[in-house]
Chains A and B, each alone.
Chain A
Amino acid sequence: MNIIVLVKQVPDTTEVKLDPKTGNLMREGIDSIINPDDRHALEAAVNLKETKGGKITVLSMGPPQAVDAVSEALAMGADRGILLSDAAFAGADTWATSYTLGRAIKKIGRYDLILCGRQAIDGDTAQIGPQVADYLDLPQVSYVYHIEKVNRKSMVVKRRLEDGFERVRAAMPALLTVIGELNLPRYPHVGRLIDACREKAPIEVWNAADIGVETREVGLEGSLTHVIKTFAPKAQREGEIIEGDVKESVRILTGKLKENRLI
């Protein structure tokens, strides 16, 4: 079984803070990591490979340093890595990203399954999986937390809903987007990690020409949505703070509630 895993390198947003004075994002000293959901996708791929055999290809679009994410994926058990990197890809929205990834997948050619994370923690859109599936004309199942059965022609998985779950059968090849509940990702193998960072590691870097796309179709130019403004979420309220004796504080508060006809 041949599996393609989509992996994004992201800043560790749990550490992202805004500069309280300027309201700017402070990125200094913030590590880049493999997007958390994508680790679960990788783990699922390695599991399937262990039981069914086959090859795992990791595909990532990003700046040259995103090669670290690809190396780490190889150390977790992937066989081949492809980094899509070109100045032309920069500034892509999900429309342009899914097109770029889709073109690369067509070039990779044969596959039975595509796995990706549900959501990247920086862009947070959760749109790439379904858009890639549509570009490639594949059935998709999103929010997958359990892979029950995989045959040659179809698979059965469970997907999370807000108030329960669905068991779904999908024809193969298919694309799944997975969530953290799916499994516990293994740590990258140290020996493999060292190998994966070597010159002769099975990692290729493809640019726009390699996948046969024009500059105006990808990156910022090929995008349909554009960020026109960013700002720090503002706290509009900043109300009244009551300090002192508990009984007295509560009396003041209930007074306010009554004034506003809330009780």
Chain B
Amino acid sequence: MTVWIETANCNGCKRCIKTCPYGAVELREGKAYILEHCTSCGACVEVCREKAVLTDAEPRTIPDFSDRKGVWVFAEQRNGSLNRVSLELLGKAQSLAADLGQEVSAVLLGSQVSGLAKTLFGYGADNVYLAQHRALKDYRTIAYTKVFEELVKEFKPNILLMGATHVGRDLGPRVSRRVGAGLTADCTELSIDPEEGILLQTRPAFGGNVMATIANRYSRPQMATVRPGIMEAVRKKNNRGNLIKCRVSLTEKEIGTKVLEAVRETRGKVNLAEAKVIVAGGRGVGSEAGMKALFSLAKAFGGEVAGTRIIVEEGWLPVERQVGQTGQSVRPEIYIACGISGAIQHRAGIMGSRYIIAINKDPGAPIFKVADWGIVGDLHQVVPEMTRAVSQSMGK
């Protein structure tokens, strides 16, 4: 397909220019002009209000999906413990379902995991679909996909959310292909469009340099994987729901893979996802020895220490403490960034924090733009002083 501008209709409003993910539209003599590196992605067609962006793609009719109901969440568990992201998703699902006037359901797969249903009800599930089978004990792509396929066909959900974990990002695309549904990856924001009633899915792309909102108009369920640590788990006290047990038939032959061994690497327990306070260091800390002061400050708060990719690469901190796009997303009460410039890839992991404090000697550092409070100064002086001050007030 191709996209072109009908200049007579163009009023130069620049909507198409702003929305182009590829920077392939510009204004020439007051009219939109499409540059050579256009990929015909069609984003500009969608936003034009003047019918000035035209395409030879045939207009598509949106099928009738009025029989599709319910917001589903994949309840990811391993060895009988739930991944926290599933509870976060149930939190978000509650508000989406309220906007739609529909129910929240969790889908729980495994072997001897029925005990987890209670937790899922407690975090907002109206229904729990439970599929138990020996072959579902370890997560295996094809086995889990088959169960999802059958459930989706039978119960026809409207929305299906999974955590953007190593499991969710393995399973989500496979299920989407199987059930014929579009899938949006690694979302950081979800909402219901008040007019169309569809799910608006927002996600970072191009290494976090661009945010894109994606719609899934032509298929159901509207599927999305969601980045852990972004949504908020919301308890629903005394909630009682329905447990729906599902029959499963699976053979080893059709599954095609076998987990020979699963090893948890206990690289010193860090729990950044649940830390209330995180003290994070960047290149400005200067050395591994320099990290000590950060650990002391974290201790004063009863928090954890994290860092940027740079200091992980330097070997001053282990990789499981890396925060950002290729590390973890965190949402503490207080995030204290020490000697961190605030690159977009780092910021991507901290925006869920309630308060951000930045300590940097460069007043122009981008981290100050996302901080609630910033101290311009040498962290080697500021951090120990803060440790003293915090220990004092916490001591009282």
CB <8 Å contact, B373 and A169: no
Give the docked Cα–Cα distance between A127 and B174 (Å): 8
B219 CB within 8 Å of chain A:
yes
Given the known inter-chain contacts A164-B263, A237-B370, A239-B374, please indicate yes or no for A27 contacting B22, CB distance below 8 A.
yes
Q: Name the residue in B173, B182, B257, B262 with the highest tally of chain A Cβ atoms < 10 Å from its Cβ.
A: B173
Give the docked Cα–Cα distance between A243 and B252 (Å): 65
CB <8 Å contact, A250 and B385: yes
Contact with B along A220-238 (1 / 0, CB 8 A): 1101111111111101111
CB <8 Å contact, A124 and B205: yes
CB <8 Å contact, A246 and B207: no
List of A residues within 8 angstroms of B55 by Cβ: 220
A171 CB within 8 Å of chain B:
yes
CB <8 Å contact, B1 and A263: no
List of A residues within 8 angstroms of B99 by Cβ: none
**Which parts of A14-64 form the interface with B (CB within 8 Å)?**
14, 16-18, 22-27, 63
A209 CB within 8 Å of chain B:
no
**Which parts of B1-52 form the interface with A (CB within 8 Å)?**
1-2, 17-24, 37, 39-43, 46-47
List of B residues within 8 angstroms of A90 by Cβ: 1-2, 39-41
Give the docked Cα–Cα distance between A11 and B205 (Å): 12
A198 CB within 8 Å of chain B:
no
- Whose C-beta in chain A lies nearest to the C-beta of B169? A126
Q: Chain B: interface residue count, which band?
A: 35 or more
A186 CB within 8 Å of chain B:
no
Find A139's partner among B17, B141, B357 (CB 8 Å cutoff): B141
Contact with A along B243-272 (1 / 0, CB 8 A): 000000000000111111111110000000
Given the known inter-chain contacts A91-B41, A228-B47, please indicate yes or no for A246 contacting B382, CB distance below 8 A.
yes
List of B residues within 8 angstroms of A27 by Cβ: 22-24, 37
Interface of B is mostly: mixed
B289 CB within 8 Å of chain A:
no
Contact with B along A147-191 (1 / 0, CB 8 A): 000000000100111111111111100100000000000000000
Given the known inter-chain contacts A127-B183, A237-B356, A249-B375, please indicate yes or no for A226 contacting B46, CB distance below 8 A.
yes
Give the docked Cα–Cα distance between A167 and B260 (Å): 5
CB <8 Å contact, A228 and B389: no
With both chains docked as a complex, state the minimum distance between the C-beta of A142 and any C-beta of chain B, in angstroms.
5
List of A residues within 8 angstroms of B40 by Cβ: 87, 90-91, 219-220
CB <8 Å contact, A228 and B206: no
B58 CB within 8 Å of chain A:
yes
A130 CB within 8 Å of chain B:
yes
- Whose C-beta in chain A lies nearest to the C-beta of B178? A134
Find A241's partner among B43, B214, B374 (CB 8 Å cutoff): B374
List of B residues within 8 angstroms of A260 by Cβ: 355
Give the docked Cα–Cα distance between A213 and B258 (Å): 35
B284 CB within 8 Å of chain A:
no
List of B residues within 8 angstroms of A164 by Cβ: 262-265
B86 CB within 8 Å of chain A:
no
With both chains docked as a complex, state the minimum distance between the C-beta of A129 and any C-beta of chain B, in angstroms.
8
A240 CB within 8 Å of chain B:
yes
Find B393's partner among A13, A94, A263 (CB 8 Å cutoff): A263
CB <8 Å contact, A124 and B386: no
6 closest Cβ pairs, A-B complex = A224-B182, A139-B256, A90-B40, A125-B185, A25-B23, A225-B182
What are 30 A-B residue pairs whose CB atoms fall within 8 Å in the complex?
Answer: A22-B17, A24-B18, A25-B20, A25-B209, A90-B2, A91-B39, A124-B203, A126-B186, A138-B256, A139-B142, A139-B256, A140-B174, A156-B260, A165-B262, A166-B138, A166-B259, A168-B257, A168-B259, A221-B1, A226-B46, A228-B19, A231-B213, A233-B210, A233-B344, A235-B369, A235-B370, A237-B371, A240-B373, A241-B373, A253-B357
